[in-house]
Amino acid sequence: MKNVHFLGVVLWVCLFLALISTHVSATSKPNIIVVMADDMGWGDSATYGHETIKTPSLDKLAAQGVKFTQGYSSAGVCSPARSSILTGRTPYRNGVWRHLSGRHEAHLRASEITYPSLFQQAGYSTGHFGKWHLLSKHQFNNEGYPHPNDHGFDYWFATQNNAEPSHKNPNNFIRNHKAVGEMKGYSAPLVADEAIRWIETGRDASKPFMMSVWFHEPHKPIATDIKFSALYPNENPVNKKYFGNITQMDYALGKIMEVLDEQGLSDNTFVIFLSDNGPVVGVGGNSGGLRGLKRNDFEGGIRVPFVVRWPGHIQPGTVNDTPIIGSDIFSTVLAIADIPAPRDRKIDGVNFLPALAGKELQRSTPLFWRTHVSPAEDRVAMRIGDWKIVGNDTLTEFMLFNVQTDWQEKNNLASKMPEKLTVMKARLLETWEDIKTDGPNQWWENETNPPRKGATLNY
C-alpha cells in the first residue's frame, strides 16, 4: 500500500513538473511584433539618411538591432505586399495580386495559411492593430469573407484601407467586427494606444504574444498633429505636413517600445519595422535617390526601410546589405519561435537571420515582383544576387541592372551583356510560369475594371 501511495506521489510530482516545464517553455518563447508604415519611402527617415525628418524611435530601434539597406517589399502597392508578409508567398501565388479597393473578388483566402494562425495554434496570444486592406471595401466586415480573426488573430482593431476621413479623428475603425465610431486624435498614436492596452491588459499574459501594428501614416489623405508639423518651421506646407506625419508615426512606434521596456518585455521581443512600398509623388515622399516611386518595380517602388531588433541575438547597431523581402518575415518568425512551416504549399520567403552571420540565403524562388499598376516598362522584375532584370507588361522588352553597384538603376546593361540577359530572362519567365499557375489566376485573367489611364489612384 505504501508503494502504491509512493507511486502516486511520484506520478503527481512528475505531472506537476511537466506542467511547470510546459508553462516556462510557453512564456519563454519570443514575442513577435511586426510594425509597418504605409507608403513610407526608403529615404523618408533620419535612419536612412534624410537630413531633415526626425525619427528618433526608428533611429533607436536600428541602434539596438540591424538596419537592412536592401530590404524589399513584395510589391509596389499595398495589399499584395501585406498578403506576402502574412503568408510567405509571393502575391500572385497567394491570390492578393492587386490593391483591394473597389468590388474585386480577390481577397486573402481562408485557404491561405498565415503565420498568425500558426502562432495561435502554437499557444500564442495574437493581435492585429491598424490597417488591414486584404479584402475589398464591400467585403470588409461582411461575414461572407475571411477577416483578421479568420487568419489567426484573437483580437483585431482595423480599417479596411485608409483612415477616414484622414489621419485626424478617424471614424472607420472596426474592433472585432464592431464599429468603433469617431475617435479623437491621430491615427498612429490611436493605433499605438490600442496596441498598448492589449499588451498591458487585453492579452493572455500567461502566453507569449504575436502582434502586427500596421500604421496608416504617411498614406494620404495626410493629417498631422501641429506638435509634429511645428518641428519643421522652415519647410514649405507640403513638406511640413509630410515630415511631421513621419515623426507622428515614429512617436507612436516609440510609445510601443517604451511599454515593452516598462513591462520588461523588450529583451524577449523580436521587432521588425518596414514599409509596405515606396513613397508617393507630390506629397513629400522621398525614395532616397532610388529610381521610381510607389507602383514602380524599379527600386524606388519596392526598396523600403527594414529594421530588426532582437536583443541578445542581433548585434546592436549593425548594417547589412543582404537583399531580403517582405515574404521572408513568415519563415523568419516561424524559425525563431520553433514553429514548423506548412509543407503542403510553396513558401517563397526564407529565414533571413543566417544573413546576419554572413551566410548566403538559399532561395528556391528568386526575389520577384509583378505590380499590376506599374508603368508598362517596369511591370515585372526579378533579382538574383547582384543582378536585377526588369520587364515590360507583355514580357517582350527587358532591362538589366547590377543593382549592387548601380543602385539607382541608371545603367541598363541589356545590350552590353546579352548572355547574362538571356539567362536572367529565362529564369524570370520560368518563375512567373510557376507562380501564375499556382495561384487563383481566374481573378486576374477575368479582371474587368483595370485602372483608367490618368486616373487618380488613392491606394
| Region at 154 (left for phi over 0; alpha for psi -120 to 50; beta for the rest) | alpha
Confidence at residue 26, expressed as pLDDT on a 0 to 100 scale: 43
CATH level 2 (architecture), domain 29-357:
3-Layer(aba) Sandwich (3.40)
- What CATH number labels 367-445? 3.30.1120.10
Q: Which pLDDT value is given to residue 188? A: 98
Q: What are the grid coordinates assigned to 403, written together?
A: 543593382
> Which is nearest to 287 in space by CA: 376, 409, 170, 381?
409
| Domain coordinates in residue numbering, the chain | 29-357, 367-445
Q: Where are the beta strands (DSSP E) in 91-167?
A: 125-131, 155-159
Strands 66-68 and 306-309: antiparallel
Q: Where are the beta strands (DSSP E) in 303-366?
A: 306-309, 318-320, 324-325
Say if 29-357 and 367-445 have the same CATH topology.
no
pTM of the model: 0.91
Report, as ranges of residue numbers, the positions in the chain whose pLDDT lies below 70.
1-27, 447-459
Length of the chain: 459
pLDDT at 48: 98
Q: Give the integer Cα–Cα distance in Å for 362 and 36.
A: 26
Please tell me the predicted confidence (pLDDT) of residue 447: 66
pLDDT at 421: 98
Rounded to whole angstroms, the Cα distance separating 349 from 382 reads: 14
pLDDT at 443: 85
pLDDT at 13: 39
Is the distance from CB of 232 to CB of 52 less than 8 angstroms? yes
pLDDT of residue 441: 86
pLDDT in tens, 296-321: 999 999 999 999 999 999 999 999 99
Q: What's the count of helices (H) and strands (E) in the chain, helices before strands? A: 12, 16
pLDDT at res. 232: 98
CB-CB contact of 278 with 302 (8 Å):
yes
The pLDDT of residue 200: 97
Euclidean distance between the first and the last CA atom of the chain, given in angstroms as a whole number: 75
Q: Answer for the pair 38, 216: CB distance below 8 angstroms, yes or no.
A: yes
- The residues near 182 (Cβ < 8 Å, ≥ 6 apart) are 169, 170, 171
Predicted local distance difference test score (pLDDT) of residue 15: 41
